[in-house]
Chains A and B, each alone.
Chain A
Amino acid sequence: MNRIGVKSGTLPSGLRDWRSLDGILEEVLEPGIELVLCPRPEVPLITVTFLWEGGALLDAPDYFGQAQTTSELLVKGTKTSDAITLAARFEVLGADFETWAGRECLGITLSAPRRVFPKVWDLVEDVFESSRFTASELHKLQKRSIAAIRVAKDGDPRSLLSVYADSWIYGSGSPYGHPVGGDEISLGRLEPGSLRRFWFQHLRDRRAVVSVAGDFDPDEIRASLTRIFSSRKVQNPGSSDLQVPVEPPIGMRGLFIDRPGATQCYFWMGGLGVDRRYPERVGLELVQSVLGGRFNSLLNRRLRIEEGLTYGAHAGYTLPSFRGVSYLTSYTPTERTRRALDAAFDVLRRAREVGLLEADLKAGRLYLKGQEAFRYETTNQWSFRLALRRFHHLSLADWAGYAEALDQISPARAGVILREVFPAPEDCFLVVIGDARSLLPDLVDLGEWSLESLSSPGFGPARPQPVEPVKV
C-alpha cells in the first residue's frame, strides 16, 4: 500500500466544525464598503469577490448586454496599460481577474497567491480608477460577443434554454426577461461613452460588497481596500427603484425554437416561482433536491434511470430579489421527445398531487447536509458564497442553523412548498428547441405555441407587457 504524508499521530477528538462562524468578520468599511473577511490559511491563496448592486437590471431598453459588456470592457485597458499589457500584468503574477454581470449585480472575482497581493492591489486600483473604455476595444468585444451567441446557437444549445425561457416568461422588455449577455442586435447598439458613464457615474458608487477568503492579514486588506475605493462617492439608490412586471401564467404557453434537422430536442418547462425573501428557502432547497436536484431525484430517476430517455434531467429555481422562475429541464433524441415531455409532466403532476415521501425527504436532507461542506471548501467558494449572502442580506446565523432547519421540513410542509413554487403542468411555460417539422405536429394538443427560428437574432418573440407593472 502506498501512502504519502501519513502522520503517526491520531485525529483530534472531534472533526473541526467547518460551519463555525469563528474568525468570519462582517464590517462596514469607509466609504460604505460592506466587507466580509473569512480567514482560511491552509493554502497560500487569497480570493476577493466584489459585488456591486445593479447588473443587467439596469440595462437600458434596447441596450441589453450593457452591464455585461461594461464588466468586460473594464479590463480592456487603463491609462497606463493597453488591454493585452493589463492582462499580462495580472497573469504574470498568477492572478485571475474575472469580471462578469448577473441579473442583479456586477461582479469581479480576483484570486492570486498571497505573496503577490500587494502588486495585485495596485492593478485593481488602476482598473477601478482609470479604465479607458475605448471605442476600438468595444468594437472588438461587440463583434466577439455577437459571434459567440451565433456559435452557441450553432452548437450545443443547452445554455440557451434558460435565456429563451426568461424572455418567454417575463417578456423580453422586462428587466428580468432580457438576455444578460445581450443579443445580436442590442450589442451592436452599445457605445463606449455610455458604458464609461455606466461604470464611473452609476455603478461604481452603488452599494458594494467585498468578501475576502484565504491566507491574509485583515489590516492589510482594510488598508488596501480603503485606498482603492478612495474616490468612491457612496450613492444609495438600492434596488427598490426598479420595476419588475409579474404576470401569473394561466394555461400552457409554448415557445418552439426551430432548429431544422436537429436530432436532439431540448426542453424547459416552468413558471414564476418565488423571491429571495421566501421564508421557506431551506425547504425549497430540499424540495428541489428531491424533485430534480441530484442523480437519484424523482425526475432523473424516471427519465434517465427507469426509462433511459436522456443523459440528464434537472429541476431548479432562481431566487432573485423579485419573483424568480422554477423549472424542469432535459433533452432527448427527437423521436422520444413526446414520451420524455409526458414523463416530466407526470413527475411534476404526481409530486404536486401526491406530495413527497418522507423516505425521499430523509435521503434529501442527508444528501444536502453532506454536500454542504463541499460548497464551502475552497477560497473561491468561501469568498463568493459569503459575498452573495451578504449581498442578499442573509444572516450568517441562519446559515449556521442550516442542518436544524432541514430537519424541520415535514412531508406536509414540503408538499405546500412544492405547490407554491412549482407550477401545475397545465400552467407551465414550455420552451422547446428542436426540429419543428418533425416535432411540432406531435405537440399541438399541449396548448398554444409560438414558433421562432434558432438562427433568428435575439431570444424569442416579445410577449406583450402586462398593462400595469407591479411597483415593488
Chain B
Amino acid sequence: MLWPDPGNPRAALYMFYQVGSADEPAAPTGLAHFLEHMMFNGSARFPDGDFDRVLEAAGGSNNAYTTEEMTVYHEHFPATATATAFALEMDRMRTLLIDAERVDRERGVILSEREASVENDPVACFLEEVQAVACAGTAYAHPVIGWAEDIARIDESSLSRFYNRHYRYARPTIVGVGGIEPEHWNRLCVDQGLDQAPDRVAGASEPVPVGPHSAGERRIERSAAVQSSYLALSFPTPAVTAPSALAHELLWTVLVEGVASRLHALLVERKAEAIALEAYRIGHRVPGCRILLVALAPGRRPQTVERTIRQALAQLADAGPTDEERIRAINQRLASYYHQLESVTGRAELLGRAWTLHRDLSRIQTYPGRLEAVGADEIRDAARDAFGQGGWTVGCLHPDGT
C-alpha cells in the first residue's frame, strides 16, 4: 500500500511480516529475532553486507524490530532511491542466505545484544521473570530476544524452516510513504509479481497465539545488586481490536503519561515514593497484559507503594476519571498522533499497523473523532476491566541483603 506525498523528497519503505516471538515453536526461543538479524547478512543478489552498503550508498538508512507478533523492516531514503530499497527488500524476502558460518557470527552479535540489554541489567532480568509469570503457559511467556541457552543452539536448519514458512512463502504488508509516484510504485509491485496470489507452503498452518490468561493473583519476589527497589505489576488488557481498546488506551494515558498523570502525580510528586514509572503492553492481537514498572525512591518499601497503587486504581475504577483528566488524555494522544503524521516513517508505522492489526485504513483518519467520542464512563469501565477482575501479577525486586 502506498501513501503518496507528491513533492516530498523523502520516502520510507516498511515491510510488516506477521510473525514474531509468539509464533515460535516451543523451543528454541528467539528464532524470530535471530532471523531478523540474519536478514542483514546477505541474499542472492546482495550478499555479505551488501544490503547496508547498497542502501547507504543510495542515501538510505534502515533498521528492524521484532515484537511478539510482528517483525518490521524499515528503510528511509531519498524518494529517488525507491527502486533500490524495493529491490533490496524483495531479494531478502525470497533468497536469504543462511549458512552455518553466517549463523555463528550473528550469534555473537545477538548474545552481545542480550548481554548489554538484559544480562547486565538486573531490572531487565527481573522484567523477563515478571513476563514469564504473567504470561505463563502462553506463547507470550518468553522474551522476544529469546533465552540465552536457546540462542546458543539455534542453527541454520531451524532458521531456514522459519524463513521459508514465514517469509519466502508468506506475504508481508508492504508500505510505501513519501515522494513515490503511484505509477512507479505499481510498476515495482507488478514487476515483483506482488499482484499475484501469495504462494503457501503445502500444509503450513497459521499459528494461533494464546493470549495471557486471567487467573488468580501471582507474586514473585527477587533480589539483585540494585540500590533501590522496583515494583512491577501486570494487569489484563484487551486486544487492540476490541471495542474497548481505545478506552483502555486513554485509561493508561490518564494513569501514567505526563507529570500530572494520576500515578505519576501521586507516587513521584506528592508522596515521593517513586522516582519514575512507565507502562508497556505485551500482546496486541490478543488479550494481553499491561506491565507497570515503578522505580522506588531509596528506602521505600514495595509493600507500601503497592498499597498506594491499589488504592489509586480502585478509586479510578470506582469513580472514573475527572473531566479534566479525560480531556488531558485525549489531547495528549492527539498531539502524539499529529507528531506521528509529520514524518514519512511515522505515517508508514500508522499505515502498517492499521492494516496488519485492524485490516482497516480509514481508522487513521477517524482517530481524532473516535478519541473524542470516548466518554469518562467508558474509561471507568476499562479501569474496572483492568483492575477489578483479577489476573494480576505482582513482582518485587529488592536490593541484595534487604
Contacts and interface: CB of A to CB of B under 8 A. Distances in A.
Interface of A: 1-7, 9-12, 15-16, 18, 42-45, 83-85, 87-88, 91-96, 111-113, 116, 140, 143-144, 146-148, 150-151, 153-156, 158, 261-264, 266, 294-296, 301, 304-305, 307-311, 331-333, 336, 362-363, 366-367, 369-371, 373-374, 377-380, 455
B47 interface: no
B342 interface: yes
Contacts of B113: 311
Interface in B254-306: 258-261, 265, 268-270, 272, 275-276, 295, 297-298
A305 B343 contact: no
Interface string B130-160: 0000000000000000000000000000000
A264 B112 CA distance: 8
Interface in B195-231: 195, 225-228
A108 to B, nearest CB: 15
A156 B114 CA distance: 11
B105 A15 contact: no
A363 B58 CA distance: 8
Given A84-B270, A156-B117, A11 B9 contact: no
23 contacts: A4-B351, A4-B362, A5-B4, A6-B2, A12-B6, A42-B342, A85-B260, A88-B259, A88-B328, A91-B258, A91-B328, A111-B335, A113-B335, A140-B272, A143-B297, A155-B122, A295-B52, A308-B105, A308-B107, A333-B115, A371-B60, A373-B10, A374-B10
A44 B60 CA distance: 28
B53 A296 contact: yes
A102 to B, nearest CB: 22
B334 interface: yes
| Shortest Cβ-Cβ A-B pairs, 10 listed | A370-B59, A94-B331, A308-B108, A88-B260, A87-B259, A94-B335, A311-B113, A308-B105, A363-B57, A378-B342
Contacts of A158: 116
A259 to B, nearest CB: 8
Given A144-B297, A370-B61, 19 more contacts: A5-B3, A10-B181, A15-B8, A45-B342, A95-B335, A113-B331, A116-B331, A140-B272, A148-B276, A151-B226, A151-B227, A262-B120, A263-B119, A294-B52, A295-B62, A301-B49, A309-B112, A311-B116, A371-B59
Nearest to B174: A1
A91 B332 contact: yes
A378 B343 contact: yes
Contacts of B117: 156
A221 to B, nearest CB: 19
Contacts of B343: 374, 377-378
B81 A370 contact: yes
Contacts of A9: 6
A377 B2 CA distance: 19
Contact of B49 (A18, A305, A336): A305
Contacts of A2: 1, 355, 361
A373 B108 contact: no
A300 to B, nearest CB: 9
Contacts of A310: 109, 112
Given A5-B4, A7-B6, A15-B79, A155 B124 contact: yes
Contacts of A378: 339, 342-343
A28 B30 CA distance: 57
B28 interface: no
A140 B59 contact: no
A317 to B, nearest CB: 20
Contact of B9 (A16, A84, A144, A148): A16
Interface string B70-82: 0000001111010
B128 interface: no
B203 to A, nearest CB: 28
Contact of A96 (B8, B275, B334, B335): B335
B188 to A, nearest CB: 11
B65 interface: no
A143 B298 contact: yes
B270 A144 contact: no
B191 interface: no
A2 B52 CA distance: 29
B181 A11 contact: yes
Contacts of B109: 304, 308-311
B118 to A, nearest CB: 9
B396 to A, nearest CB: 16
B186 interface: yes
B186 A15 contact: no
